[in-house]
Amino acid sequence: MTTYFRPSVEAMTGYVPGEQPKPGTNIIKLNTNENPYPPSPDAIAVLRNLDSEWLRRYPDPYANEFRLAIAQALEVPFEWIIVSNGSDELLNVVVRACAELGRKVVYPMPTYVLYRTLTDIQPAERVEIPYGEDYRLPIEELVAVNGAVTFIATPNSPSGHIVRIDEIRQLAARLSGVLVVDEAYVDFACETALPLVKEFENVIVIRTLSKGYSLAGLRLGFGIANPKLLSGLFKVKDSYNIDAIACLVGAAAMRDQAYKNECTEKVKRSRTKLAVELKQLGFQLWDSQANFFLTQPPKGNAEQIYLALKERGILVRYFKQPGLEDKLRITVGTDEQNQILVEALIHLV
Ligand SMILES: *Cc1c(COP(=O)(O)O)cnc(C)c1O
C-alpha cells in the first residue's frame, strides 16, 4: 500500500488529548489541569472592548505588548523572551530547530507525552530514561545520552513532583545540547529554575498561561533564554504565531499578577484539603507541587473508577501506559468540585 507520509509520521502514534466537553455541559472537569477559576477581569475587559481594526490587520510578529508585560512581571530582559501559541508550540519549535537524523532527544519517564509525539514526527532518535525510585532524576543517564534536546518538566506531569534546581544546574553544566525546563505548573510550585537561564546559555525555561492564568483556550506560552539560544528559535517559529487577540488579552492577564496569585493560592489550599481526603479513602498519593495529583486507588482498579466517575459526570485522567495503568491523575478543582469527587469516590473504592 502506498503512503503519503514520511516513514517517521507513518510509524508514530498521534498525541491523544484529554476529553474536552463543551463549556456549559454539566461536567466536573478534572482531567486536563485547567484552573477552575475564570481569567483575570482585566483580561476579559480587553477582550470585550477589542477594536475590530486589530482583526483586519496582521498581528505584531513578535507580540511585543505581551512580551513587555512578561518582562515586567518576571523582571527579565525583553530580549530574553520568545512567545508562542501555547507552550506546546514552543516545545515543537525547539524540537524542529534542534532535532534531526543522528541527533537525540531525551527525557526522564513518565512525563508529558507530547515530548514523544513531537520527537517522533522528526527523523531524530528518541531516548526515554525511567525516573529512579521516588522520582529521583537519572542525571548520569541523561548526561551520558547528551541529547541535542533534553526535556525536564518541573513540576512534572503526571507525577506532580518537582525537580530541584541544583539537580537541573548539574545537568545544564554537563550537557552540550539544549536543556528545556518545562515549567507549565510553576505557578502552583514552591520553586523555579528561572535563575539558570542567566547561568547557562543552553537552558530555556518554558511557561504557559493555560494553567496558572486560566487561559488554556487562548493558547499562549513563552520561553526565557539567552538571546543567542532564542535566535535559532525565532527563525523556526511561524511568523504570526500569536494572534492579535491573544497578544492583547494575554498582556492584560500578565499585568494582573495579583489576581493570578490569588487564584493559585486558592488552588493550593484546596490541594492540601483534597490530599487529606483522598488519603482517608485509602488512595496512595505522590507529593504534588502542581494543580493535580497522581493517585493510586486502594484496589488499583483505576480504569474502572475512571469509567464510573465519567458516568457520574466527573472527568479525571486515565493513562493506559506502562506503570500508570493502576493510577489516576486528578486535577484540583474548587473545594465544591473536589467535595463532589470525594463523595462519588466513597462509593467506588
Ligand atoms: C499543559 C502542559 C503544557 C502545555 O500547555 P499549553 O496549553 O500548550 O501552553 C506543557 N507542558 C506540560 C507538562 C503541561 O502539562
The pLDDT tens digits for 176-199 are: 999 999 999 999 999 999 999 999
Judge whether 13 lies within some domain: no
> Which of 31, 34, 181, 182, when mutated, tests ligand 1's pocket best, judged by the most ligand atoms within 8 Å of its CB?
182
Same domain, 101 and 246: yes
Same domain, 168 and 234: yes
Residue 60's pLDDT is what? 97
Amino acid at 51: D
The percentage of the chain sitting over the pLDDT mark of 90, rounded to a whole number, equals 92
Distance separating alpha carbons of residues 27 and 22, to the nearest angstrom: 9
Same domain, 237 and 304: no
Judge whether 290 lies within some domain: yes
The pLDDT tens digits for 310-325 are: 999 999 999 988 889 9
The pLDDT tens digits for 16-68 are: 888 888 888 889 999 999 999 999 999 999 999 999 999 999 999 999 999 99
E strands of the chain, at which residues? 28-30, 81-84, 104-109, 125-130, 149-153, 178-182, 203-208, 221-224, 284-285, 292-296, 314-316, 328-331
Residue 281: which CATH number?
3.90.1150.10
| Beta pairing partners, 144 | none
* Number of domains the chain contains: 2
pTM: 0.96
Residue with the smallest CA separation from ligand 1 atom 14 is: 184
Whether the bond between 130 and the residue before it is cis, its omega within 30 degrees of 0, is no
E strands of 51-124, at which residues? 81-84, 104-109
Q: Is the pLDDT reported for residue 1 higher than 70?
A: no
Domain hosting 186: range is: 41-255
Judge whether 6 lies within some domain: no
Which of 77, 85, 67, 91 lies closest to 227, judged by CA?
A: 77
Same domain, 206 and 312: no
Please tell me whether residue 231 adopts helix, strand or coil conformation: helix
Contact predicate 185/226, CB 8 Å: no
Same domain, 146 and 194: yes
- Could you give the maximum distance between any two Cα atoms of the chain, in Å? 58
Q: Give distance in angstroms: CA of 32 to centre of ligand 1.
A: 10
The pLDDT tens digits for 144-160 are: 999 999 999 999 999 99
- Kindly report the average pLDDT of the chain as a whole number: 96
Residue with the smallest CA separation from ligand 1 atom 5 is: 87
Distance separating alpha carbons of residues 144 and 124, to the nearest angstrom: 17
Q: Is the pLDDT reported for residue 245 higher than 80?
A: yes
Ligand 1, residue 157: give the atom nearest the CA: 13
Ligand 1, residue 32: give the atom nearest the CA: 1
Distance separating alpha carbons of residues 78 and 257, to the nearest angstrom: 18
Judge whether 268 lies within some domain: yes
Ligand 1, residue 84: give the atom nearest the CA: 9
| Beta pairing partners, 106 | 127, 150
Residue 207: which CATH number?
3.40.640.10
